[in-house]
Amino acid sequence: MKINRLLAIVVMLLNREKISASELAEKFEVSVRTIYRDIEAINLAGIPIVSQIGNNGGFYIIDNYKINHQLLTLEDMISIIEALKNMNKFLDNKNVEMAIEKVKNIVPKEKKEVFDLHFEQMCIDTLPWGFKKCEEENLKYKIIYDAVDNKNCIAFDYRNSKGEYNWRQVEPLTLVFKGFSWYLFSFCKLKNDYRFFKLSRMENLTVLHEKINENRISYKEYINISESEQVPTRVVLKFSERVRYRIDDCFDKDEIKFQEDGSVIVDTYLLEDDWIYSMILSYGECVEVLEPNHIREIIKDKCKKINDIYSNMT
């Protein structure tokens, strides 16, 4: 689209001292004549671009305007690239790769060394240790990503937490990466309500011709409504000193109290669901639920079932 090219040209000129018409034409795969028309359109929009002729000629924005209207700082560019790289670890999207290269290309020459050094000194990786991408899962991400983008409904067999399969037809609204897993926020036709579906539990995925209802609420709106309706439960946990390193990562400092015997008491508020039970059980024998009593009984029952499994082994 022309408007995208015009914006890209402005961003490049703000971050470069001078750019020739031929360089711009090659970059955007258009003719030099088209670039001159683009520059004229940008000038008419009120952005003062100067054209310098000769062997060392090119286009540039006058310095005073550039100083006052800088769109992206070096930190902005680094943040954009980090976000795009992390997203593309799952999607392998060519458009995302192109976007990364475009942002890299607008880094001013005098800041290029600092820019490159940043990625040697710091790496943001949202994937868990030992994570290996599965081609089948990658394909699933891409299919759903395209369905969301094109506003197409999808259908699939879904395995619930009990291992049961149900056929679902949904309106895909937003892909959500949370807790090292991808989820699809969507409107479920079967339940006639908004639901989250974990991508790893989807099978036999099909994209339908039916389009989504444009009047559905957004993911952010749904979260705001849900959080206002849900009441967190006060949970008090006693941890062994052996798992202190995990406690520091999972809870706020003002929720943690260290005891003289080395144990740790955590007094926190959590939304109660299956995640809480899994989280508590993940600490094994190094945690005890002190409050509330009903969660203590739930964990006790789950531990008994685990014990029964191993007691029956020969």
- Full pLDDT tens readout for the chain, 314 residues: 466 788 788 878 877 778 888 889 888 888 888 888 888 888 877 778 888 887 778 898 876 665 454 556 767 777 777 777 766 666 666 667 777 777 777 677 777 787 777 767 766 666 666 666 666 777 888 899 889 989 999 999 999 877 889 999 999 999 888 766 789 999 999 999 999 999 989 999 999 999 999 889 998 888 888 877 778 899 999 999 898 888 888 888 899 999 999 999 999 998 888 888 989 999 999 999 999 999 999 999 999 999 988 887 66
Could you state, in order of their start, the residue ranges of all structural domains in the chain?
Answer: 2-68, 74-121, 135-227, 233-311
> Which fold, 2-68?
Arc Repressor Mutant, subunit A (1.10.10)
**Closest of 267, 306, 263 to residue 284, by C-alpha:** 306
CATH code for the domain defined by 135-227: 2.30.30
Q: Which residues pair with 265 in a beta bridge?
A: 238, 257
**Closest of 48, 46, 33, 45 to residue 3, by C-alpha:** 45
Please state the φ and ψ torsions of residue 109, each to the nearest 5 degrees.
-60, -40
Indicate the pTM of the whole model. Answer: 0.57
Which structure tokens are listed for 104?
Answer: 């890299």
139 touches 145 (CB < 8 A): no
**Class for the domain spanning 233-311:** alpha beta
267: left (phi over 0), alpha (psi -120 to 50) or beta: beta
